[in-house]
Amino acid sequence: MNILISGVTGAMGQVLDELISDSKHQVVAGFANQRVENLHYPVYTSLEDVEEEVDLVIDFSQPTSLQALLDYGKSNNIPLVIATTGYTDEEEGAIREASSEIPILFAKNMSLGINMTEKIVEQLAHALPQFDIEIIEKHHRYKKDSPSGTAKMLVEAAKTGRNDESPVLEGRSGLYDERLKNEIGVMAVRGGTIVGEHTVLFAGEDEVIEIKHSAQSKKVFANGALTAAEFLVNQSPGLYDMNDVLGGE
């Protein structure tokens, strides 16, 4: 497969580049904000200039690249694996809309373990309606969006389990009344080189359950993205996620 990496000069782009170079696939072009000359393929600052034959795009960039990415995918009929986080509801709507024309796999966390964590959180939220749910996410000092895409995904899993529109409180400071019964609190921590940690706390009367996923290297996300690409390249237009790749519901 001929792959274009969007966000190729970033931390994830470079881990992915290394993984693909050890695979049966190849990176034929990159997309970034700034042009660089030290890679063995061209890095474009506009996708309109891409000349290479591209089978699929894997995107680890920033939300500001979204429109260019969707336009490129739609005009050239190229599937997109989108791993970027921090989109607004409107931007997520644009992804959904574009998926009526091309195959798009959009996943806020490409790891296998988080996929299972999501299912467990949904089940616990359903089974323990009287427990308070709090989510704590920790990431490296360079992360721009908060809370993380994964934390938002885990909130959705908890809401599905509770079958209600639980109010979400991001951060907690100052004078504030008691927590609402069905509130879901989300706290973000940033520092050092923490790859990505998500803890979901179920706090009941005199007992606490903690479900924790800890990514130990960025390779876990790159691996997931490449597996997702191998799945997506043969699909019809539509919106897919890691559940489709891993054969879950």
Ligand X SMILES: O=C(O)C1=N[C@H](C(=O)O)C[C@H](O)C1
Ligand Y SMILES: NC(=O)C1=CN([C@@H]2O[C@H](COP(=O)(O)OP(=O)(O)OC[C@H]3O[C@@H](n4cnc5c(N)ncnc54)[C@H](OP(=O)(O)O)[C@@H]3O)[C@@H](O)[C@H]2O)C=CC1
Q: Is 107 in the site for ligand Y (CB under 6 A)?
A: yes
94 appears as a binding residue in the annotation: no
Residue 198 in marked binding region: no
83 binds ligand Y (CB under 6 A): yes
In degrees to the nearest 10, what's the CA dihedral of 63, 67, 71, 74?
60
From 138, 139, 198, 213, active-site residue: 139
Bin 154: left if φ > 0, else alpha if -120 < ψ < 50, else beta.
alpha
Long-range contacts of residues 162-168, Cβ cutoff 8 Å, at least 24 apart: 162/125, 162/126, 162/129, 163/126, 166/133
Is 119 a known active-site residue? no
Letters for 61-80 (x = contact with ligand Y by CB under 6 A, - = none) are xx-xx---------------
Q: Which is nearer to ligand Y, 115 or 166 (CB)?
A: 115
Active site (annotated) includes residue 218: no
Residue 61 in contact with ligand X, rule: CB under 6 A: no
Nearest residue to ligand X on Cβ basis: 196
Residues 17-46 that bind ligand X (CB under 6 A): none
Spatial separation of the C-alpha atoms in residues 207 and 209, rounded to whole Å? 7
- Is residue 150 annotated as involved in ligand binding? yes
- Which of 25, 138, 143, 218 is catalytic? The answer is 143
9 belongs to the binding site for ligand Y (CB under 6 A): yes
Q: Dig out the tokens for 39 from the structure.
A: 């890679």
- Per DSSP, the three-state class of 196 is strand
Query: Which residues from 168-227 bind ligand X, rule CB under 6 A?
Result: 196
Whole-angstrom distance, CA of residue 62 vs CA of residue 33: 10
